[in-house]
Amino acid sequence: MNLLTRHFMAGAAAVVACCLGVPVTPAAAAAQPDPAAIAGIVEANLGPARLPGVAVALVKNGRVLHTGGYGHDASGEPVTSRTPMRIASLSKSFTALAVMQLAEAGDLRLDDPVVRHLPEFSLADPRAGQITIRRLLDHSSGMSDATYPEAGLPQPDSLRQAVADLRRAELAAPPGRRHDYHNPNYWVAARLVEVVSGLPFAEYLSQRVFAPLRMTSTVSVGNWQDPMPGLLGGHNRFLGITWPRTEPDRFVAGSAGIVTTADDLARWLALHTRGTTSTVLSKKGLRELHRPSAPDGHYALGWDNPAPLNGPRQITHPGSSFTSTATMVLLPDSGYGIALMSNSRMPLEADVEAIMEDLIALTQGTPGTGAPLPLAFIADLTALAAAISIATGGAVKARRARRWARRAIAAPWRTTLGLVPYLLPLPVLAFLPRILELITGGRGVTFVLLSHIWPTFLAAVGLTAATGIMVTIARIRALLRQRRRRSASAPLHPQARPSTAGT
């Protein structure tokens, strides 16, 4: 559900990497990061114009080095390493591991067709029978938001219903042809875990993953509105101010439903950086989870392998709910693993990415960039200032509508064309989600999502559209009034001119 996030984060990462512009010091020569240095990086990105609360976990070669919380939660209480937070799409790595466990147990193979183990799975496309389990996990099944915009559809209440609802979905591409990030892939994978294991998905994770890893404060929910003790809503920024918000109705089982703490997420990273077989999964299985298999050459099984940008090789995954953001990074060349959770979802996520980039630099012994400009705050104020400026100008034009009508009455076609620019913001507002989908590569965008990601921008576009309508109505009324005056002042029976014939 988070392509806007991924695009903004990728852009921020590119800027940060370009700004670094220095060779990377070998990891072996870097001193182990100390808690004070970590706190300094995080706290530089907190505050009224930045992020409200952040939790961090840092591990190396399977050993937890640091966990901590900074800032405050939605109730104003301090964030700690035990504060529950949503990790959104980071949950996909857990679902992929559950499937890999079943593969290692001999219950399935990753290259088996899904329907072999899940006969209830079908689409409105006969090629659905060619979709393998691996293609679900690396998002190359052919399913896509372009053909099944799940975010804007009625939300299912169970994995069984989620899979059943897919019967009306079309494929956007042949299975295995291209990578299309699509949450329902992981709904199907989670339902597969249920059917093959005989356990409800959340119970399977609890028994087979969380308990062995001692992740005692971690749960998997089916909907972001499901209650959980200790879990509070996150934040959005509106009119330049960070506001506490609650999550809307969104089905997330298997794709984005895990709630955890920094302490527990450190144990998850330890599993992936230890480099040895554990009671949860073999060393070979972990390598397979991290190995790219999607046609884009980067996405693996619940993990991504982005192209390095003047920095160390990374295995990573970002995630965001409507009111929170999370990201985790494995640095295989140095053995580090870093997780970052923020209890906010901002218009731009440069603050979150800046923290991660500086933490990575800290592990490598290279200088960080420091806190960037608070781009979310600046973007909010810019959108607000632009909308107020347009509204003020529109009010002036509406007040001067009579003067405009006196000039326009003699040129009706020019008058009509002159009103068109004032009406354009209305269709832009009406089709804003579709426009943003084109910009972000087709991921599902809804007005509910926009009202959380960037409510100030949505309000600014709405105010601009309302201003255009106000000016148009004022000018049309003035034009009609001017025409009535002209008609009323014209003589009903013009006097005939005297004839000059015969003179």
| Residue 239 neighbours by CB under 8 Å, 6+ apart | 380, 384, 456, 459
Fold of the CATH domain 3-364: Beta-lactamase (3.40.710)
Q: pLDDT tens for residues 452-485?
A: 999 999 999 999 999 999 999 999 999 888 888 8
In the block, residue with structure tokens 């960039």: 369
**pLDDT of 148 strictly over 80:** yes
Per-residue pLDDT, averaged over 239-250, amounts to 94
pLDDT at 489: 76
Residue of 87 and 370 predicted with greater confidence: 87
pLDDT at 423: 92
Report residue 197 as tokens: 């294991």
pLDDT at 7: 41
* Annotated domain spans of the chain: 3-364, 375-487
pLDDT at 337: 98
pLDDT at 282: 97
SS3 of residue 481 by DSSP: helix
Report residue 309 as tokens: 């940008």
Q: What is the DSSP secondary-structure string of 117-170?
A: H-TT---SSGGGGG-BHHHHHTT-SS--TTT--GGGSPPPSSHHHHHHHGGGPP
State the pLDDT confidence band at 488, using cuts at 50, 70 and 90: confident
pLDDT at 26: 37
Q: In angstroms, rounded to a whole number, what is the distance separating the alpha carbons of residues 222 and 205?
A: 13
pLDDT at 491: 66
The DSSP letter of residue 33 is P
Q: pLDDT tens for residues 259-298?
A: 999 999 999 999 999 989 999 999 999 999 999 999 999 9
Residue 499's Cβ-count burial label (10 Å; 0-12, 13-18, 19+) is exposed
Average of per-residue pLDDT values in the chain: 90
- Contact (Cβ atoms closer than 8 angstroms) between residue 86 and residue 252: no
